Structure 1
């Protein structure tokens, strides 16, 4: 039985508000099902995407972080439920500094992907993450690969703030390298949104250690690093913040809130906002390849493009892909359980690295 972490219990009024949350989300769905017929160019091109995007945006904007954590439940609990649904045994290991590692696939596989989930550092992983990776593992292993995913559960805000989550992300990699004895050449790290931030910061830490986190020496470069719709800049002044405002599932105001809570009293630096790292820091990163993915309809598109451009200027083995008509984290939200351009690109890139 999974023990609930602090913060997943709500007060009376917070619980009493939940039926009204459901009502407002339902009302949003009905309204946008009608309004979608008359949508303009500032909205998602596809009718179903228009409805889903607006419903998700209403849900994430209408609820507090505490309510989100209560409704979704702990990441470990979601993981156990999904694994059992697929007839698989969940395997969880404790990590340093209060984190946990969740195995998806054969923990003795030759190759491992360490995956940091998104959610503004405040939202637990939803079932779509585990369904997505179970399908990726199945598809790749059926084609002769030997792959598993190691999914860290890091401490959510506001129960801990930066650099706790980065320290836990580094420890997940340290565990796979030092405790399971795998060569870095058989390890890929990646993540989406806030998890893409952690993957990027972890990569930077390997060659430019964070002053508050123990260094990690590698015997060889990592096989690869990927960042899916990475949240690499906390500024909301980018052009795409306005251009894609009504196409995406998240809002600039929500990003501001999450960034302020995550960073706490810490100033912006090269690890909590990886776009700040100078180009020369990317020239000696400890990986063979980098993949950066984004959706053409997401509000984070502009900073991601600048981020990709900076890295590619000094690290040519960088691939940047933009999925047409995709909102933020499309494979996990608006297009969950459907094939997306970025999802296909990621699977092909992983196959080439293993």
Structure 2
């Protein structure tokens, strides 16, 4: 991240989040601005992938043929390029904008509920910086989308003494979810349809789910506690769970060639059924986090990228 910011002459400040168990916020942009929009962003890659660019993950069950087919895109994922482009969309609409990029604890060293605790404290910390909820846009991809939904759930429902609620006196400006990880199950038809196409595989997903929420914990806590279940697998929550969703607008995008497709569509229906102002867009011929990969590899932006940028532009119009 430091190298990227230096190359593009982008101001960068890094802060430890108070009581954040080592979590950090990387501030990108001019923080001296008196009035601005803040994109509070949570990166994805299944709670496992570090932000370091020199660390690679290629699980043993990812075959060589599959790696070749997806152009080895599992090796390194860097969402920063795409998130910076999102902030520029706001600036092009005349809005001052900064990015608060959260670096949270990763598995296997950090497991549930560490990431949710850090996320709530990150949100509260940003709001303590005199930014108003109406100026805050929450975003995340994959597991980062799971974190965003957990924050919203905790704002609506008290979980337990361990998981504190975020301090939200009024709704956020918006939430955008890029291919959010909303289920630990792989029974939907999109897993079968896209097994040979997407960068996510069912065994891979289960591997990371187990690293985040071990079976022992799942048996003792998750399945016996509907609040915990709805936090970690938001698609399992009933429609009524989402009533009062504390954001003015929600965008959820997915690819029609990704294994999460059907789960994303199902959650979109539930949010809409709860009267949440939601737009769920399944992008044709797009795989998991295609927009981030396009930005990272310098590809022509596809429908997923354009959909998010158009939504951000309308959000501040």
Bucket of the pairwise TM-score, normalised by the shorter protein: 0.7 to 0.9
Residues 1:266 and 2:228 aligned together: no
State whether structure 2 residue 288 is matched by structure 1 residue 339. Answer: no
3-state SS in 2 of match to 1:288: coil
2:151 equivalent among 190, 198, 202: 202
Deviating above 3 A after TM superposition, structure 1's stretches of 4 or more consecutive aligned residues are 125-128
Q: Indicate how the Cα distance of structure 1 residues 202 and 316 shifts in structure 2: closer, same or farther if over 3 A, else same.
A: closer
For the residue of structure 1 that corresponds to 2:279, the secondary structure is strand
Q: Name the SS for the 2:310 alignment partner.
A: helix
Counterpart among 248, 251, 263 of residue 288 in structure 1: 248
Q: Deviations over 1:71-117 (max 9, x none)?
A: xxxxxxxx111111212332101012210001122224411011111
- The alignment's TM-score, normalised by the length of structure 1, stands at 0.74
Number of aligned residue pairs: 275
Q: Which whole-Å CA distance do the structure 1 matches of 2:133 and 2:230 have between them?
A: 23
Aligned to 2:313: 351
Relative to structure 1, is the Cα distance of residues 333 and 282 closer, same or farther in structure 2, using a 3 angstrom cutoff? same
- Higher-Rg structure is 1
Inter-partner Cα distance in structure 1 for 2:295 and 2:246: 33
d(CA) in 1 for partners of 2:239, 2:25: 32
Unpaired stretches in structure 1, ≥5 consecutive residues: 1-78
> Which TM-score applies when normalising by structure 2?
0.83
Structure having greater relative contact order (Cα 8 Å, sep ≥ 6): 2
- Among 81, 106, 116, the alignment partner of 2:30 is 106
**How far did residue 316 of structure 1 move?**
4.2
Change (3 A) 1:335 1:182: closer
3-state DSSP class of the match of 1:216? coil
SS of 1:135's equivalent in the other structure is helix
Aligned-CA RMSD value: 1.5
CA contact (8 A) 1:229 1:300 kept: yes
Query: Which whole-Å CA distance do the structure 2 matches of 1:320 and 1:217 have between them?
Result: 27
Higher helix share: 1
* 2:135 alignment counterpart: 186
CA distance, structure 2, for counterparts of residue 261 and residue 213 of structure 1: 19
Per the alignment, do residues 174 and 146 of structure 1 end up closer, same or farther by CA in structure 2, a change over 3 Å counting?
same
CA offsets per residue over residues 103-149 of structure 1, 9 Å max, x none?
12222441101111111100023574111122222233133111111
